[in-house]
Amino acid sequence: MAVHAHPDDESSKGAATTAKYVADGHEVLVVSCTGGERGDVLNPALKDDPHILRDLAQVRRDEMAAAQAILGVEHTWLGFVDSGLPEGDPRPPLPPGCFALEDVDIAAEALVREIRRFRPHVVTTYDENGGYPHPDHIMTNRVSVAAFVAAGDPERYPHAGEPWQPLKLYYNAGFHRERLETMHRALTDRGLDSPFAQWLERRKDTPDRRITTRVSCAEHFDKRDAALKAHATQVDPNGHFFAVPNQVQAEVWPTEEYELAMSYVPTTDDEDDLFAGIDPATADELATSSPELLRDDRIESTLGEWR
């Protein structure tokens, strides 16, 4: 299960990984917490299209359906309202009723219901900073962590389905410094323009997060890009996401990276598989164990004590 804030996030963060696991025969569910109703039109060719501006919410749904078909994933809307990205000085308040202002307990129950219905062994989402500080991305982390903790506990949300405990929780690593530096060098060494110099300058004093897992998925980069381009209002086809040719990426950086946040199975810091340590023969039994036994057997958590 890949939990994301908006439609298009599933295609810009970990999409080649999800396509790989679909190709390997795994079921993959993308959860979109919001409908992306307040997103801007970021494709210069479409920003003044009256048909798009008339009903952006439906456009975002149609784009998500197209991306879902390309990736081969299942998809569900959690049903909350996009918070937008307030800008200015002073920054305006978030709009009433938006996802970022929702009660975490209410949103977590909605996600728990999906976890118990779909019964994933692995959940991916964003780190506590949201990957970048969009209010919906930060809220997605808070809700995902709360739901991961609660889903296996029969005393939590008893009307949301039979308890099911996912065994691993990961954060998408995204555009971390090592990856940016490698991509930047790959372009400049080939005499190509790089859009990453400014990114690296902005991040020079920001330490990278821990990377525990590198999933080899280069054969799915084209599918990842096609899914992202299906979100035509949200991405410039000439922008930085497509600056490095996929054959170059496959040569210099053929993986997508993750940070393991919680695990109920033995792990290492150099995994190459999100399912590493999960025994298919016992996974379902472990996922339905009592929460007390699971807590006693918890291997790793980067989030401190359970709450």
Residue 294 confidence class, pLDDT cut points 50, 70, 90: low
For the cut 70, the answer to whether the pLDDT of residue 291 exceeds it is no
CA–CA–CA angle 196, 199, 205 (5° rounding)? 135
Q: Do residue 125 and residue 199 come from a single domain?
A: no
Tell whether 57 and 187 lie within a shared domain: no
Length of the chain: 307
Q: What pLDDT score was predicted for residue 91?
A: 84
Q: Are residues 94 and 188 in the same domain?
A: no
Q: Is 184 annotated as a binding residue?
A: no
- Round the average pLDDT of the chain to a whole number and report it: 92
Here the tokens at position 55 are 């009903």
Q: Is 9 marked within a binding site?
A: yes
Asked if 160 and 186 sit in the same domain, the reply is no
Is residue 94 located within the same domain as residue 26? yes
Q: Are residues 144 and 195 in the same domain?
A: no
* Domain shared by 90 and 197, yes or no: no
Does 63 share its domain with 204? no
* Per-residue pLDDT tens digits for 63-81: 999 999 999 999 999 999 9
pTM: 0.94
**Residue 124 shares a structural domain with residue 194:** no
DSSP-derived secondary structure letter, 271: B
Q: In the predicted model, what is the mean pLDDT of residues 244-264? A: 96
- Each residue's pLDDT tens digit, 11-66: 999 999 999 999 999 999 999 999 999 999 999 999 999 989 899 999 999 999 99
Q: How many domains does the chain have?
A: 2
Q: What is the pLDDT of residue 289?
A: 84
Q: Is 6 annotated as a binding residue?
A: yes
Q: Exposure pattern of 193-228 as b/e (b: 16+ CB <10 Å)?
A: ebebeebeeebeeeeebebbbbbebbebbebbbbbb
Query: What is the pLDDT averaged over residues 88-111?
Result: 95
Residue 286 domain boundaries: 2-173+256-301
94 and 181 co-located in one domain:
no
Q: Examine the domain organization and report whether 280 and 191 are in the same domain.
A: no
Q: What is the CATH number of the domain that holds 169?
A: 3.40.50.10320
Clarify whether residues 143 and 201 are in a common domain. Answer: no
Residue 112 lies in a domain: yes
132-160 per-position pLDDT tens digit: 889 999 999 999 999 999 999 999 999 99
